[in-house]
Structure 1
Amino acid sequence: MLFLLSPAKALDYDTPLPADLPHTQPLFVPEATALIEVLRQQTPAQIASLMKLSDALASLNVARYQAWRPRFGPRQARQAVLAFNGDVYEGLQARTLTASQLDWLQQHLCILSGLYGVLRPLDGMRPYRLEMGTALATERGRNLYQFWGPRIADHLNQRLAGQPAPIVVNLASQEYFKAVDRWVLQARVIDCVFEVRQGGAFKVVGVHAKRARGLMMRYAAQHRIASPQRLQGFDLEGYAFAPAASTPDRLVFRRSA
């Protein structure tokens, strides 16, 4: 069973980390290199327009593209699960997981990425900005979905090969999960939905749902979840499984506030 998460816009390359923390090389370095070469041809003004960034952020990312290298050590990069710093990763709190739990994450979590395709949690990552929904034209097409094509789904199939009932638990956003070609993917997909009560009704609230995705990933690592049934025990920060609102492939979790 594999879990999918989206990356985060916010990055943290400042918080000190243990010197002996392992890191691995990303799997799609040739593809990332090809995208960087395209991005290096863009001016700050073009990047600002393409990604809807301020002039300052556009200039920062142009500098990042110029500094990017296909191979790097721990001094030039940071483990992906520790570099991302948005709501999802505040829920996951990977820095507080044990070495054994981080190793479990490495085997079971795939972080989808516009630049890297798929990142394992301990893959070394240089700072970058390239969202999956960016309409960046390349030789493979007019956007990143066409650039990645079936590659991400093929990778997931390889990771799941040999499992009697391959399952992907989708904790990613629609923008990122769209990069997984469902016609190619040979696995059952289970979506997790997180709702909170507001105004007398349960609904998905973006900021809470993002944090809950990270909490679910933390719960899975702590309990080494290996079946959809065990996901139903998720109870962090007041969430509880809502069987009446769920289906076998859409698990709904709710909390009162």
Structure 2
Amino acid sequence: MKIVTSPAKLMNVENSTDLLRSTSPKFIDEAAFIQTYLKEKSPKYLSELMEISPKLADENWERNQKWKAKPTSKESAPALLAFTGEVYRGLDAKTLDKSAVDYLQKNYRMLSGLYGLLKPSDKVMLYRLEMGRHFEFDQYKNLYEFWREKITAQLNSEMKKGEILLHLASNEYGKVIDRKKLNHTVIDFEFYELREGKLKTIVVYTKHARGLVVRFCAENNAQTLEDVKAFNYEGYRIDEDQSTDTKLVFTR
């Protein structure tokens, strides 16, 4: 079983752990290639591309200038701890024990607009480059065009026959995986909150729940779809009536 999530805009490279031996991302050369184009972009361009304030654009322009393929430990953090958005608050990796972290190192991958596909131990620097932004570079119209074949082939190479892929990424990031060329069944997820007798999707809770599922799998050594169906953190329960062979629906 493999699990994928999106990265997060919020990052912190001051986090560290003794449970992971740092590694270099599989696609570090590709990331460096993208950065040669990003470094040339002005703060104004970054502000318009990412729809962010001039202050944030200046900050990310500085990040691009400082970025390097082989950062020191002080300049980087393992991907598992570097992202700090809502998914990663649900995952709360810094409180996991060694066996759970080992499980994630084997089974868990993070999609990234800059790095492509990350293992928990891969060293990353501060960056911001969302997969869905209209970033044109070299002969590529966007990041999907650059990454889709590479990421899909890498997942195929890492997965054994019969393994399933738990798709806990957003639609924006999930689109980078070519399902027609992926030789494995993809399992999608939906999370609903019961409010005044009606089931509602609340984005922030959905993001948090995605991280909770990753944590649940790690803490319970989930190996099969049946194992995943037992997910019950923070009041969630499987809705068998709404779930299908390729989609798990959880409500609370």
Instruction: Determine if contact 1:137/1:143 at 8 Å carries over to the other structure.
Output: yes
| Partner Cα separation in structure 1 for residue 5 and residue 148 of structure 2 | 18
Equivalent position of 1:80 in the other structure: 79
CA RMSD of aligned residues (A): 1.3
Equivalent position of 1:173 in the other structure: 170
Residue type of the partner of 2:149? Answer: P
Equivalent position of 2:2 in the other structure: 2
Runs of 4+ in 1 over 3 A off after TM superposition: 17-21
Residue type of the partner of 1:197? Answer: L
Q: What's the TM-score, normalizing by structure 2? A: 0.96
Alignment gaps of 5+ in structure 2: none
| Partner Cα separation in structure 2 for residue 237 and residue 149 of structure 1 | 34
Q: CA deviation at 1:149?
A: 3.0
Residue type of the partner of 1:11? Answer: M
Instruction: Determine if contact 2:13/2:125 at 8 Å carries over to the other structure.
Output: no
**Structure 1 residues 191 and 18, CA, compared in 2 at 3 Å: closer, same or farther?**
closer
Matched, 1:193 2:190: yes
Moved more, 214-223 or 198-207: 198-207
Equivalent position of 1:149 in the other structure: 148
Percent of aligned positions with the same letter in both sequences?
A: 38
Q: What's the TM-score, normalizing by structure 1? A: 0.95
For residues 53-64 of structure 1, the aligned pairs below 5 Å read 53-64=52-63
Equivalent position of 2:243 in the other structure: 246
| Partner Cα separation in structure 1 for residue 7 and residue 45 of structure 2 | 23
Alignment gaps of 5+ in structure 1: none
| Partner Cα separation in structure 2 for residue 197 and residue 219 of structure 1 | 22
Per-residue deviation, residues 102-129 of structure 1 (Å, max 9, x unmatched): 1110110110000000011111100000
Equivalent position of 1:231 in the other structure: 228
Q: CA deviation at 1:181?
A: 1.2
Aligned residues: 252
Q: CA deviation at 1:73?
A: 3.1
For residues 197-236 of structure 1, the aligned pairs below 5 Å read 197-236=194-233
Instruction: Determine if contact 1:44/1:62 at 8 Å carries over to the other structure.
Output: yes
| Partner Cα separation in structure 2 for residue 175 and residue 79 of structure 1 | 23
**Structure 1 residues 20 and 214, CA, compared in 2 at 3 Å: closer, same or farther?**
closer
Residue type of the partner of 1:85? Answer: T
